[in-house]
Homo-oligomer: A and B are copies of this chain.
Amino acid sequence: MPAADEGVADADADASAGQTGRPATAGRRRVSRRTLLAGGGLAALAGGGTVTAAALRSDGRATASAVIPFHGPHQAGILTPRQQHVRLAAFDLGNRTDRGRAAALLLRWTSAAEHLTRGEAVPAELEPPGSRAAETGALDGSAPARLTVTFGLGPTFFDRTGLTAARPATLAPLPSFPEDQLDPARSDGDLLVQIGADDAFVTAHVLRTLQRLAHGEAKLRWAMTGFTAADGRRNLMGQIDGTNNPEPARALLNGPDVPPWLEGGSYVVIRRIRMLLDHWDTLPPTHREQVLGRRAADGAPLTGGTERTPVDLAAARPDGVPVIAANAHIRLAAPASNHGATMVRRSWSFHDGLRADGTPDAGLLFMAWQSDPRTGFIPVQQRLSRGDALARYLVHETSALFAVPGGTRPGGYVAQALLEG
């Protein structure tokens, strides 16, 4: 339950004690965490303070195996092996937002995520000023189940907070692709929250909690629910998922050109891709394999070997016909066909029941992590949208791109270096 005695009094204590991440920014005037949470907002940030937090305690309920550390050079939920459940949600900031109010929201969310990922209740001090809402204890008795909470910033976040000049050129809105059928209300957004866990009740209540804590500052724009198979690796079309995924760390940002708030971060593209399962299911199995370019049984390329065998795009039958068809998905999506572009796919299945036309509202919440969408998702999708044999069984319904800031250390909050820069 909320612990009002959990250290508000020493909110100005030096948070560098016990931290393991990057060194504290030196020589900055400190702003009280309490002032920021209480609505001090931009005024509290004037001069650029480092917001600090109370030392965090563990209440011992969470078992070690179920806890994914929240702090580190990267946000959890990128390199973390996929959990069984995800809630993706985009929030839009209110009309009266500014840099300080956005900072207060991200501090609130970051602090809440620290507690929740350890299996602790959200302290009452994190409830928004003016809100009468309070935690109901729905997670009492639940382990965090490898909970990760990952935050991202959409292109519009920067305009809304007066930070347009700080928006990386890389974070431009995605272009439209020829076959897209996008629903704008379920695309884009100022802020992304990715909530992953091995317990669907945990992801549901954490989403609810973050929505409650955003009261007065940001509204939920859209939310999506995804899952993975507990044992299997297939998607709802029956395809083995994640074959030939590159080393996840290749999606991370590092180097002199990366702004400090993005160091260790990434870019993520989200596409809700509905599968036309009624149509797909009627294809003869060999036709399905040719569409993909892989064997259904084991995921091996049709040119032979095992799932991990590189595809031989040049292989031809005796009659000269290529083994991997010219429009096979595996050919068009291959790095060799896209100047070496790589994306780290970390996708989820969804099945939201029934559409008005009676067909299944099911498919893939495609998530691609990368260091630059201009050389990653964008050229690959441009190629796929012009002739991929798989495309006729898919409908891209939503689309979004977010910059995912680097990780935090105790006392810090996500995007702090941007908002206090």
Contacts and interface: CB of A to CB of B under 8 A. Distances in A.
Contacts of A138: 232, 234-238
A163 interface: no
B230 A201 contact: yes
Contacts of A358: 219-220
A84 B199 CA distance: 8
Contacts of A285: 134
A201 B362 contact: no
Contacts of A236: 138, 204-205, 208
Interface in A123-174: 131-143, 145
A92 to B, nearest CB: 11
A207 B351 contact: yes
A417 interface: no
A133 B208 CA distance: 40
A229 B208 contact: no
B219 A137 contact: no
B133 A362 contact: no
A186 to B, nearest CB: 9
B233 A353 contact: no
A346 to B, nearest CB: 16
A137 B281 contact: no
A262 B170 CA distance: 64
Given A224-B353, A238-B140, A200 B200 contact: yes
A136 B201 CA distance: 30
Given A234-B140, A234-B141, A281-B133, A229 B202 contact: yes
Interface residues of A, number: 64
Q: How many copies does the complex hold?
A: 2
Nearest to A222: B354
Interface string A269-290: 0000000011011101100100
A57 B1 CA distance: 52
A361 to B, nearest CB: 9
A228 interface: yes
A222 to B, nearest CB: 7
Interface string A170-209: 0000000000000000000000000000111110110110
A227 interface: yes
Interface in A206-222: 207-208, 211-212, 219-220, 222
A225 interface: yes
Given A136-B288, A138-B237, A230 B198 contact: yes
Given A136-B280, A235-B138, A238-B136, A199 B229 contact: yes
B231 A142 contact: yes
A281 B237 contact: no
Contacts of A288: 136
A360 interface: yes
Most buried by B among A142, A223, A354: A354
A220 B204 CA distance: 26
A235 B139 CA distance: 9
A-B CB proximity, top 6 nearest: A136-B238, A201-B229, A141-B232, A142-B232, A223-B353, A200-B227
